Each structure stands twice: as structure tokens, then as C-alpha cells.
């Protein structure tokens, strides 16, 4: 029986260096693509969460307006000295009720004492994590019939 020796082909170092560098370049491109996809998916997720929080803040601000309107309808002389707070889940709401408004009140202002005792202004500010929403409603109270009507509801800039 004859013993034979096995011979392995050895590659030249120049071919190995070229293969190694091309593998590294392809690997870096794949890693960069994966990082880019991760960043894009994170940003899209954050955008959806921000929209959800903004909607929750707007809805909570509306709930603050509704709460103040109910209190005014039940007690026509309702006018707290300072804003009162509501908690709706993890959202905080601050409601300011002003009575006897100036005739030209259009912006967010503090309460005024003038000759219009039949008007109320309600400003409801809701904060959901980092999103803030502020709504303002103006109500008119008819002293003869006791009817309270909504003159306007608008969203105002939240500072």
C-alpha cells in the first residue's frame, strides 16, 4: 500500500487581502443600512406617539371646558378666584373661569371687572407629557330666562 501525502493549495496573500477588504466594505454597508432603518422606524414611531398625545391633550382641554360649562349652568354665579385643576388619567387640566368680561376680550387674558356681568370666559389648558392644548369658550348668560348659550369655542396658542 502506498502512502500519499495530501497537498493543500495555498492562496496567495494578495488574493486574501482583496477578499478581506471587500468583505469588510460589504459588512459596513449592511450595518449602515440597518442603522438607517432603525433610526427611520424610531422617528416614525415618535411622530405617531406625538400625534396621539396632541389629540389626548385637545380632548382633555375640551373636557375641562365641558366641566366648567356644567358648573356654570348649575350655579349661575360660579366664578372661582383662581384656576382649578382636573386630572384625566395622566393628563393634567387647568381651568380658568372669568366672569364680567370686557367687550373686546379676544386674547387669553386674566379676569376683568366691567359692565358685562352676563358673559363668562373659560380657558382650559391640558398638558399630556410634552404636548399642550388650550381652548377658550365664551358663554352668554341671559338673566331674564336663565339660559346659558355658547357664543364661541376656539383653540388658542398654548405657550
pTM over the 0.75 mark: no
Backbone angles phi, psi at 113, to 5 degrees: -115, 110
Question: Does residue 37 register a pLDDT over 80?
Answer: yes
* Domains delineated in the chain: 25-156 (3.30.1300)
Cell 367687550 belongs to 103
Q: Cβ(50)–Cβ(123) under 8 Å? A: no
What's residue 22's pLDDT?
Answer: 86
CB atoms within 10 A of CB 97: 23
Q: Rg of the chain over CA atoms, in angstroms?
A: 33
User: Over pLDDT 90: what percentage of the chain?
Assistant: 32
Which strand (E) or helix (H) includes residue 66? helix 13-74
Q: Cβ(112)–Cβ(98) under 8 Å? A: yes
Amino acid at each position: 500500500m502506498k502512502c500519499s501525502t495530501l497537498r493543500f493549495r495555498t492562496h496567495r496573500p494578495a488574493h486574501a487581502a482583496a477578499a478581506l477588504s471587500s468583505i469588510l466594505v460589504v459588512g459596513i454597508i449592511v450595518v449602515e443600512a440597518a442603522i438607517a432603518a432603525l433610526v427611520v422606524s424610531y422617528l416614525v414611531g415618535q411622530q405617531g406617539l406625538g400625534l396621539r398625545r396632541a389629540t389626548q391633550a385637545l380632548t382633555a382641554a375640551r373636557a375641562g371646558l365641558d366641566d366648567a360649562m356644567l358648573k356654570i349652568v348649575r350655579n349661575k354665579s360660579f366664578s372661582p378666584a383662581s384656576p382649578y385643576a382636573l386630572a384625566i388619567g395622566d393628563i393634567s387640566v387647568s381651568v380658568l373661569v372669568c366672569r364680567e368680561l370686557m367687550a373686546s376680550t379676544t386674547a387669553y387674558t386674566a379676569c376683568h371687572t366691567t359692565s358685562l356681568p352676563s358673559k363668562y370666559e373659560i380657558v382650559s389648558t391640558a398638558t399630556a407629557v410634552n404636548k399642550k392644548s388650550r381652548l377658550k369658550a365664551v358663554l352668554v348668560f341671559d338673566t331674564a330666562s336663565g339660559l346659558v348659550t355658547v357664543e364661541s369655542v376656539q383653540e388658542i396658542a398654548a405657550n
